[in-house]
Amino acid sequence: MKAFVMKEIGSVGFMDKPIPRPGPDDAIVRTTRALICTSDSHTVHGGIGPRQNLTLGHEAVGVVHEVGSQVKNFQPGDRVVVGAITPDWGSPAAQSGHPSQSGGPLGGWKFSNTKDGVFAGYFHVNEADANMAKIPATVPDDMAVYCADMLSTGFMGAEKGNIPIGGTVAVIAQGPVGLMATAGARLRGAGLIIGVESVPARQKLAETYGADEIVDFSREDVTERVLELTDGEGVDTAIEALGADQTFQTAVKITKPGGTVSDTGYFGEGEFVHIPRVDWGVGMAEKTIATGLCPGGRLRLERLLRVLETKRVDPTLMTTHTFAFGDMAEAFRVFDEKLDGVVKPLITF
Q: Alpha-carbon Rg of the chain, whole angstroms?
A: 20
| CB-nearer residue toward Zn ion: 112 or 260 | 112
Candidate segments 146-154, 184-192, 223-231, 245-253, binder of Zn ion by CB under 5 A: 146-154
Candidate segments 97-105, 149-157, 267-275, 276-284, binder of Zn ion by CB under 5 A: 149-157
**Distance in Å from the first CA to the final CA of the chain:** 12
Neighbouring CB atoms inside 10 A of 56's CB total 27
Candidate segments 88-96, 129-137, 142-150, 305-313, binder of Zn ion by CB under 5 A: 142-150
Is residue 282 classed as helix, strand or coil in its secondary structure? helix
The number of residues that bind Zn ion (CB under 5 A) is 3
Q: Is 129 an interacting residue with respect to Zn ion (CB under 5 A)?
A: no
Instruction: Quote the CA–CA distance of 61 and 297 in Å, as a whole number.
Output: 14
Angle at CA of residue 324, ends 201 and 311, nearest 5°: 50
User: Measured from the CB of residue 109, what is the shortest distance to Zn ion in angstroms?
Assistant: 10
* Contact predicate 140/167, CB 8 Å: no
User: Measured from the CB of residue 245, what is the shortest distance to Zn ion in angstroms?
Assistant: 22
| CB-nearer residue toward Zn ion: 119 or 280 | 119
Neighbouring CB atoms inside 10 A of 183's CB total 29
Question: Of 38-77, which residues contact Zn ion (CB under 5 A)?
Answer: 39
Candidate segments 61-69, 143-151, 227-235, 279-287, binder of Zn ion by CB under 5 A: 143-151
Instruction: Quote the CA–CA distance of 189 and 177 in Å, as a whole number.
Output: 18
Contacting residue, 37, 226, 301, 304, with Zn ion by CB under 5 A: 37
User: 255-263 and 235-240 as β-strands: parallel, antiparallel, unpaired?
Assistant: parallel
Q: For Zn ion, what does the binding mask look like between residues 84 and 103, x meaning CB under 5 A?
A: --------------------
User: Measured from the CB of residue 343, what is the shortest distance to Zn ion in angstroms?
Assistant: 13
Residues 6+ apart with CB under 8 A from 231: none
Residues 6+ apart with CB under 8 A from 187: 155, 158, 307, 312, 313
Instruction: Quote the CA–CA distance of 104 and 109 in Å, as a whole number.
Output: 10
| CB-nearer residue toward Zn ion: 86 or 260 | 86
Candidate segments 36-44, 166-174, 227-235, 259-267, binder of Zn ion by CB under 5 A: 36-44
Instruction: Quote the CA–CA distance of 287 and 257 in Å, as a whole number.
Output: 6
CA distances from 50 to 8, 11, 47, 270 (A): 6, 11, 9, 18
User: Measured from the CB of residue 182, what is the shortest distance to Zn ion in angstroms?
Assistant: 17
| CB-nearer residue toward Zn ion: 55 or 168 | 55
Q: Give Dmax (Cα) for the chain.
A: 60
| CB-nearer residue toward Zn ion: 66 or 149 | 149
| CB-nearer residue toward Zn ion: 149 or 236 | 149
Is residue 219 classed as helix, strand or coil in its secondary structure? coil
User: Measured from the CB of residue 258, what is the shortest distance to Zn ion in angstroms?
Assistant: 32
| CB-nearer residue toward Zn ion: 153 or 250 | 153
| CB-nearer residue toward Zn ion: 39 or 203 | 39
| CB-nearer residue toward Zn ion: 39 or 249 | 39
Select the residue whose beta carbon is closest to Zn ion and give its number. Answer: 37
Instruction: Please list the residues that pair with 289 across neighbouring strands.
Output: 261
- In single-letter form, the type of residue at position 263 comes to D
User: Measured from the CB of residue 113, what is the shortest distance to Zn ion in angstroms?
Assistant: 11
Contacting residue, 25, 127, 141, 149, with Zn ion by CB under 5 A: 149
Instruction: Kindly list the residues in this chain that would bind Zn ion in the complex (CB under 5 A).
Output: 37, 39, 149
